[in-house]
Amino acid sequence: MTTRPASSSPPTAAANNDRATANPTSSALAVPPDGKRNTRPAACAATAANFAGKRVLITGAAGGIGHALVQRFAQAGATLALVDSSPALTELAAELGAPHRAWRVDLSDEAAITRFAADALRELGPIDILINNAGIAPLAPAATLSTEIWDSTMSVNLRAPFLLCRAFAGPMLERGWGRIVNLASQAALIGIDGHAAYSASKAGLLGMSYCMALEWGPRGVTVNCISPTVVDTPMGSGSTWSGERGVQARREIPVGRFARPEEIAAAAAYLASEDAAMINGSNLVIDGGRTIR
């Protein structure tokens, strides 16, 4: 597969990292009830970080959490490199316009990631901030979980972030500054029915991030994770966590609701900022208190 700007037609790829959906390959922009998607960057708080001059790579950019990340960083002046498999990425990239770029990449394909990384570095230069947001969550009981599902989940949720970190950390380390934010999950911390592969992949992401933080922190590159509860997006709360199961899940969260995409984006922006320079090797749990039970 040849990676190319979003106007091209690549093969299918990994979905965005909206929590726990049974559809492992779909990825779509969050659409409000009126059916009109807001593609303009949302206003950030007056105290929000300024990312002018920073190049930010966001995977899973066309999904609910990804779209919130795009809004947040674009509003703060960053130049964005967007990665997703969804055709919606093409429209998003066109609406954002230059200097932002987008690539549709199969994150389960190591060769495709390697080609994409070379393209991005050549066209945009060194990436300052990497946000590994893409992920899939095909669910099945552990007793019947197929090896194919296990392997595909690991390839997208754990191997792809490793490959991207490895590809883009080099220039960060050479320049002595960089931020990597990996989207994990509450499922890395607690057991959830049907989530054996997903939970294992996200727990592995935490362990990988801790090791990278230890190795790269002394050279100015911080590596942190965010572990949300279910996020209120079409992919998150609209599928696996809909109906009575969703009602019960909200009851188990002390604040009584799911997380919002904008809350995840705000946390990522903070961890990517100069203000968070002393935060390294941390896992920011955004779960309304769910995992303290």
Alpha-carbon gap, residue 8 to 116, rounded angstroms: 13
Alpha-carbon gap, residue 113 to 22, rounded angstroms: 24
Alpha-carbon gap, residue 79 to 66, rounded angstroms: 15
The tokens for 225 are: 């994770």
Alpha-carbon gap, residue 228 to 97, rounded angstroms: 30
Q: How many Cβ atoms are within 10 Å of 4's Cβ, its own excluded?
A: 16
Alpha-carbon gap, residue 84 to 153, rounded angstroms: 16
Alpha-carbon gap, residue 146 to 71, rounded angstroms: 37
Angle between helices 110-124 and 160-175 (to 10 degrees): 30
Alpha-carbon gap, residue 222 to 169, rounded angstroms: 10
Which residues are the active-site residues?
198
The tokens for 216 are: 């790269």
Q: How many Cβ atoms are within 10 Å of 250's Cβ, its own excluded?
A: 19
Alpha-carbon gap, residue 176 to 174, rounded angstroms: 6
